[in-house]
Amino acid sequence: MARRRASQFLAGYCCSKSRSVVRRPPLCSQEPASISAPGLSHTHGKATSMFKPPLKLHWKLSSQTSCDIMQVHYSRTYGIHQRSFTSAAINIQRNPSFSKLNSDDICYFKSMLGDKNVVQDEDRLSAANVDWMRKYKGSSQLLLLPRNTEEVSKILRHCNSRRLAIVPQGGKTGLVGGSVPVYDEVIISLASMDKIISLDKGISPFTIQHSSFSVNGILICEAGCILENLNSFLANEGFIMPLDLGAKGSCQIGGNVSTNAGGLHFIRYGSLHGNILGLEVVLADGTVLDMLGTLRKDNTGYDLKHLFIGSEGSLGIVTKVSILTPPKLLSTNLALLACKDFLSCQKLLLEAKRELGEVISAFEFMDSGSMDMVLAHMDGVRNPFQSSLYDFYVLIETTGSDESYDKAKLEAFLLRSMEGGLILDGAVAQDINQASSFWQIREGMSEATVKAGAVYKYDLSLPVENFYDIVGEMRARLGEKAKVVGYGHLGDGNLHLNILTTQYDNNILAQIEPFVYEWTSTHRGSISAEHGLGLMKADKIHYSKSPETVQLMASIKKLLDPNGILNPYKVLPQSMLQ
Amino acid sequence: MARRRASQFLAGYCCSKSRSVVRRPPLCSQEPASISAPGLSHTHGKATSMFKPPLKLHWKLSSQTSCDIMQVHYSRTYGIHQRSFTSAAINIQRNPSFSKLNSDDICYFKSMLGDKNVVQDEDRLSAANVDWMRKYKGSSQLLLLPRNTEEVSKILRHCNSRRLAIVPQGGKTGLVGGSVPVYDEVIISLASMDKIISLDKGISPFTIQHSSFSVNGILICEAGCILENLNSFLANEGFIMPLDLGAKGSCQIGGNVSTNAGGLHFIRYGSLHGNILGLEVVLADGTVLDMLGTLRKDNTGYDLKHLFIGSEGSLGIVTKVSILTPPKLLSTNLALLACKDFLSCQKLLLEAKRELGEVISAFEFMDSGSMDMVLAHMDGVRNPFQSSLYDFYVLIETTGSDESYDKAKLEAFLLRSMEGGLILDGAVAQDINQASSFWQIREGMSEATVKAGAVYKYDLSLPVENFYDIVGEMRARLGEKAKVVGYGHLGDGNLHLNILTTQYDNNILAQIEPFVYEWTSTHRGSISAEHGLGLMKADKIHYSKSPETVQLMASIKKLLDPNGILNPYKVLPQSMLQ
């Protein structure tokens, strides 16, 4: 680990890796010239590759999403602190208008999908009924594995005519109970629909200096493709996915779209609403909506694909995705920095936006408690600094097209920030292993909280100036009863507030909720920044949306899914849909 | 004008301007060191500021949108070649379910808005009834000028209850007849709602080196704000609007949102779907939908604002806008380049995306005929090259945070491109005047086509590899009867196809349409990239959207506007709404 004291850490980092197809040799030599920082001592760092590794450990269940593998993993890792929010616990009654599954339904599905794609095995069903945290648990008796859009369409047409409720299921990495049944909904897994259909690479081959670069980067794939697999595929073609999240090894692109996933690179590439070019969606009645455009601009009528981005499978099932993928740029740099207070983190963000502007690709934030937790509970994660913990940490990644310039930009920025007192200590990744270990710290947070005990998780969007206040207020409120930590995407104003206790306790919950929602609403924040509402917060939507807006949502839900069979009990309050 | 032959043009450009608030002196001196291009002779260019000027000439009618000013301008400039597509010409019958305006309606509006905001003056109505090109002309008897959301709400509540059709009107700079009445729709102008409500600048002031930089850049304003005025306001605060278009001097942000305007910086900042954070919208029945969020991330329920982005005022009237504005970066460079063929332009785009990646902010394209036309018809526009015309031109703008690095990046890119034979000739703007003159060429195109004669305008989204083929095919099809030119946003695959004739002729039109739509559909393009469908292409939507998708659009239109009073006859085929 390349870790240096404040007076040293800026010297001698170089963190770029050339892609497999390059036109010129990497500018970054094995022993780069040291960088002169006025008044600072110098060291030379070893310069090797520093791309984030293709495999991440955390949240990664398996690149296969088969339910039995998950189950084994669950029981090994998360067997201690569980609270299953079955339907009884969440105080929602089964919608009496839904039918119960019968043998004719099973026969129909088997005739259409084949026996092996109609799963009634108890173990596999058990795994598919429970979420990643073992917090939400349904009692579905049927898991279907369609292989193509036509089969999804036939399933929905049948279920709609029979009033059988369904839940679409992707990688099941959500945190709000959106992807598992509440009662006996039929589970429709998209795992078998994992084909990459095309990558529009634009004109090729070219004869200027290199031969296989491509320009458009428009990827079309099926909804069941795992995010990490897509990224690996794209990397070989000179592109990257515009989103990256800790769950990349399990989450599916259809689920990413349906939950409008944010993640680590949101600050650079923005929302999926800006990156998704087209979708294929199957509506509740089986109608296939072909909106699978591949154009950056298309102003012909209402842009309906946006209705399905973030609607958590309650308006239709996403079956294919067309997405604009950015070029994989030549140089990446990663710095882990320690700050003395939250205001310094804020200032650092402000400075980074101004000075690193177009190359900044991540700006992540962790407090002392978060760091402590991940060091304690995640195997192989080490403190990058020799000292004890600092109060606050920031992880800054830059990605650009020219490594010498980008490196110099980051260097100048870090120098100024250190001289200005914003940074107490820091380390810049020297190679792919160090970069990986930095990312492991940040990406291991969510899993560490689950391992650490009973955890209440909140995903808040807040104005940057109020970003960390809720952590202090919650600590004051809960006292010794709980450990309150905060981390998240400071660059996007997205705080992951985690409240850890020894065991789940309704008295503690009553001290947290509705306070956390009211506080967020008062500060004009959002009670779900990037996780969605799912089952957890379906009846909390009014904290973030006006009554008229929620009413229109309900009207649209009724228009698109008049029988209410799609992912029931989620997203919107049940009272508005009956 | 800094214009050099191919062997010279790379030397000595420097094109950045420091903002009024800077932390260090500009790196760019008045006489920068010349840049060595191996094997090339060198010259030294004068280096001064090069931001695009705050005022642009083209499309700019006035910073006031008052109708009488427009009318004078129209009659002076565009008096020669007109075809008014009145309702008779476009073969649409007035919807018989709409009421006719009566004296009680006028009384109500006067009591609510005051006499001066209820316009019945013939001249002002005449101007408000006709579009910028004088191509579309309605016969409205009433122009209303609400001053706030509540008044818009009351107007719509009244009109909906009386079944009075309305057309919302912004800067009226559209090209598809979307913003003027077809029959006697009441015109609701947003021109009086032009207040900037807030700019969330984040934490300030700071004590590190500078004091007034801000970080968030979230602008909230009323829908009637003129784009250029917003940009001027933001420039003083260190931000820019994420969109820029030739019509900036007249177009209003509400119209930009309602038409999902694209423009010159789309390649950098992307679609408004990615930049708009929130909207306030008044529905047909007067309901005010408060979706005026200011958060980058908010996954609480369906993201309904997207329904109103690009729906051309047919689902609701946008009254307030919350938009994420990017930081105004320190350095801007602008190069006008000549290429020998379209393939070279394509290759140049590919190279620019790879090599300039994160700093590229515009990649515009013009063919020889476009350049010829703008030189012939626009006052003050000069050929930047001494030679006669080249076949193709590309305008590349870069914007970054560090002028020395960014300049070097562009320099290296241009050197390589020239050595590789992609560029025949080029000029790099040396100061703000030269930059302005380059932009005048590109931004003057649309007005030049109108001045040049009768023009058929098409706004196509096409795969880059087919981008220019339609120009050749159309030339072959029309022969001597018309001049066919192409220009547009190559970086986004958006071609503006312009067909110029001496006068409008239905025989020529029959040779153009439906061929141009069929061709576009065959090549998986869009018949409206950034202009919308409006009246011009409402019944052409099926060339770009599937029947099921259009059907759902119609269902949503009926849900939100059951009486169909909002901007009737536009966007969707009338046959689907009755």
Is B289 in Cβ contact with A552 (below 8 Å)? yes
| Ranges A250-254, A545-549, B11-15, B247-251: which has the least confidence | B11-15
Three-class SS state of A444: coil
Token pair, residue A284, equals 């509740």
Cβ burial, residue B507 (10 Å; 0-12/13-18/19+): exposed
Nearest 5°: phi and psi at A572?
Answer: -115, 150
CA distance A269 to chain B (A): 9
Residue in this structure with the two tokens 């079309």, named with its chain if needed: A220
Q: How many CB pairs under 8 A join A and B?
A: 313
How many CB atoms lie under 10 A from the CB of residue B43?
14
DSSP letter (8 states) at residue A33: P
Question: Which H or E run contains A323?
Answer: strand A317-324
Predicted TM-score (pTM) of the model is 0.86
At a CB cut-off of 8 Å and minimum separation 6, what does A299 contact?
B259, B260, B262, B310, B526, B528, B529, B530, B531, B532, B533
Treating both helix axes as pointing N-terminal to C-terminal, what angle do A445-452 and A67-77 enclose, rounded to 10 degrees?
A: 60
Determine contact: A466 vs chain B, CB below 8 A: no
B206 pLDDT more than 90: no
Q: Kindly report whether the peptide bond that precedes residue B205 is cis, defined as omega within 30 degrees of 0.
A: yes
Nearest 5°: phi and psi at B346?
Answer: -60, -45
Q: In what order do the strands lie in the sheet with A166-169?
A: A118-119, A143-144, A186-189, A166-169
Treating both helix axes as pointing N-terminal to C-terminal, what angle do A547-560 and B547-560 enclose, rounded to 10 degrees?
A: 140
Measured CA to CA, the distance from residue B491 to residue B362 in angstroms comes to 7
A22 pLDDT more than 50: no
Out of B302, B356, B543, name the one closest to residue A307 (CB): B302
What are the chain A neighbours of B319 within 8 Å (beta carbons)?
Answer: none
Percentages helix, strand, coil for chain B (3-state, rounded to 5) are 35, 20, 45
Measured CA to CA, the distance from residue A228 to residue A61 in angstroms comes to 12
Nearest-CA neighbor of B397 among B334, B330, B487?
Answer: B334
* B208, closest residue in chain A (CA to CA): A420
Out of B357, B463, B552, name the one closest to residue A329 (CB): B357
B131, HSE (Cβ side, Cα atoms, 13 Å): 25
Q: In what order do the strands lie in the sheet with B454-461?
A: B425-428, B331-339, B392-400, B360-367, B483-489, B494-501, B454-461
Supply the pLDDT for residue B78. 34
pLDDT in tens, B25-43: 222 222 222 222 332 222 2
pLDDT in tens, A501-531: 998 889 999 999 999 999 999 998 999 999 9
pLDDT in tens, B479-500: 999 999 999 999 999 999 999 9
The answer to whether A426 and A7 have CB atoms below 8 angstroms apart is: no
Measured CA to CA, the distance from residue B296 to residue A492 in angstroms comes to 6
Is A303 in Cβ contact with B315 (below 8 Å)? no
Calculate the alpha carbon distances from B105 to A223, B108, B118, B192, B310 in Å.
53, 5, 11, 21, 30
The answer to whether A370 and A452 have CB atoms below 8 angstroms apart is: no
* A542, closest residue in chain B (CA to CA): B300
pLDDT band at A89; cut points 50, 70, 90: low
Measured CA to CA, the distance from residue B22 to residue B209 in angstroms comes to 9
Supply the pLDDT for residue B480. 94
What would you measure as the largest C-alpha separation in chain A, in angstroms?
Answer: 80
Out of A283, A349, A545, name the one closest to residue B300 (CB): A545
One-letter identity of residue B252: Q
A34 pLDDT more than 60: no
Pairing of strands A331-339, A392-400: antiparallel
Measured CA to CA, the distance from residue B343 to residue A271 in angstroms comes to 33
A57 pLDDT more than 60: no
Is A358 in Cβ contact with B262 (below 8 Å)? no
CA distance A440 to chain B (A): 24
| Ranges A142-156, A412-426, B207-221, B519-533: which has the least confidence | B207-221
Cα angle B444, B511, B93 (rounded to 5 degrees) comes to 85
Nearest-CA neighbor of A192 among A244, A139, A254?
Answer: A254
Q: What is the DSSP string of B142-182?
A: -EE---SHHHHHHHHHHHHHHT--EEEESS---SSS-SS-S
- To test the contact with chain B by mutation, choose from A296, A555, A572 the residue with the greatest count of B C-beta atoms within 10 A, namely A296
What average pLDDT does chain A have? 83
Determine contact: B116 vs chain A, CB below 8 A: no
Domains, in order of start, for chain A: 6-55+330-446 (3.30.70.2190), 63-189 (3.30.43.10), 196-324 (3.30.465.10), 453-544 (3.30.70.2740)
Q: Higher pLDDT residue, B77 or A279? A: A279
The answer to whether A557 and A573 have CB atoms below 8 angstroms apart is: no
One-letter identity of residue A52: K
**Which sign, positive or negative, has the C-alpha torsion A265, A9, A370, A58?**
positive
Out of A262, A297, A301, name the one closest to residue B262 (CB): A297
A78 pLDDT more than 70: no
Out of B203, B274, B290, name the one closest to residue A350 (CB): B203
Measured CA to CA, the distance from residue A241 to residue A323 in angstroms comes to 8
Supply the pLDDT for residue A29. 27
User: Which residues 118-147 of chain A have a CB within 8 Å of chain B?
Assistant: none
Q: What is the DSSP string of A347-415?
A: HHHHHHHHHTGGGEEEEEEEEHHHHHHHHHHSTT---SSSSS--SEEEEEEEEES-HHHHHHHHHHHHH
Q: Higher pLDDT residue, A172 or B327? A: A172
Instruction: Calculate the dihedral angle through the C-alpha atoms of A490, A312, A524, B202, rounding to the nearest 10 degrees.
Output: 30
pLDDT band at A83; cut points 50, 70, 90: low
How many CB atoms lie under 10 A from the CB of residue A112?
16
Q: ipTM of this model?
A: 0.86
Mean pLDDT, rounded, for A109-137: 95
Measured CA to CA, the distance from residue B556 to residue A6 in angstroms comes to 59
Out of B301, B420, B529, name the one closest to residue A545 (CB): B301
Cβ burial, residue B66 (10 Å; 0-12/13-18/19+): middle
Is B202 in Cβ contact with A464 (below 8 Å)? yes
One-letter identity of residue B476: A
Supply the pLDDT for residue A556. 98
Measured CA to CA, the distance from residue B4 to residue B502 in angstroms comes to 36
pLDDT in tens, A348-382: 998 898 888 888 999 999 999 999 999 999 999 99
Mean pLDDT, rounded, for A282-304: 96
Pairing of strands B118-119, A494-501: unpaired
**Which sign, positive or negative, has the C-alpha torsion A96, A97, A98, A104?**
positive
Determine contact: A178 vs chain B, CB below 8 A: no
pLDDT in tens, B253-282: 999 999 999 999 999 999 999 999 999 999
H-helix segments, B238-304: 253-258, 266-269, 272-275
CA distance A208 to chain B (A): 6
Measured CA to CA, the distance from residue A171 to residue A191 in angstroms comes to 8
pLDDT band at A449; cut points 50, 70, 90: very high
Determine contact: A527 vs chain B, CB below 8 A: yes
Three-class SS state of B506: helix
Mean pLDDT, rounded, for B289-307: 96
Cβ burial, residue A198 (10 Å; 0-12/13-18/19+): exposed
A24 pLDDT more than 50: no
Q: Higher pLDDT residue, B77 or A232? A: A232
Nearest 5°: phi and psi at B483?
Answer: -105, 125
Supply the pLDDT for residue A339. 97
pLDDT in tens, B366-397: 999 999 999 999 999 999 888 789 999 999 99
What are the chain B neighbours of A260 within 8 Å (beta carbons)?
Answer: 299, 303
At a CB cut-off of 8 Å and minimum separation 6, what does A286 contact?
A153, A154, A155, A156, A157, A158, A160
Q: Which residues of B294-304 are buried (b: 16+ CB within 10 A; e: fewer)?
A: bbbbbbbbbbb
Out of A346, A559, A572, name the one closest to residue B203 (CB): A346
| % of residues, chain A, pLDDT over 70 | 82
Mean pLDDT, rounded, for B500-527: 94
- Three-state SS sequence of A19-31: CCCCCCCCCCCCC
User: Which residues 333-372 of chain B have a CB within 8 Å of chain A?
Assistant: 343, 346-347, 349-351, 353-359
Supply the pLDDT for residue A38. 31
